[in-house]
Amino acid sequence: GENVEQHPSTLSVQEGDSAVIKCTYSDSASNYFPWYKQELGKGPQLIIDIRSNVGEKKDQRIAVTLNKTAKHFSLHITETQPEDSAVYFCAASMSFGNEKLTFGTGTRLTIIP
Binding site for another protein (CB under 8 A): 1, 6, 9, 31-32, 34, 36, 41-46, 49, 51, 89, 93-106
d(CA 25, CA 72): 6
> Least distance from C-beta 91 to another protein, angstroms?
8
Q: How many CB atoms lie within 10 A of CB 51?
A: 12
Q: By C-beta, is 27 or 78 nearer to another protein? A: 27
CB of 98 to another protein, least distance (A): 7
> Which residue lies nearer to another protein by CB, 42 or 113?
42
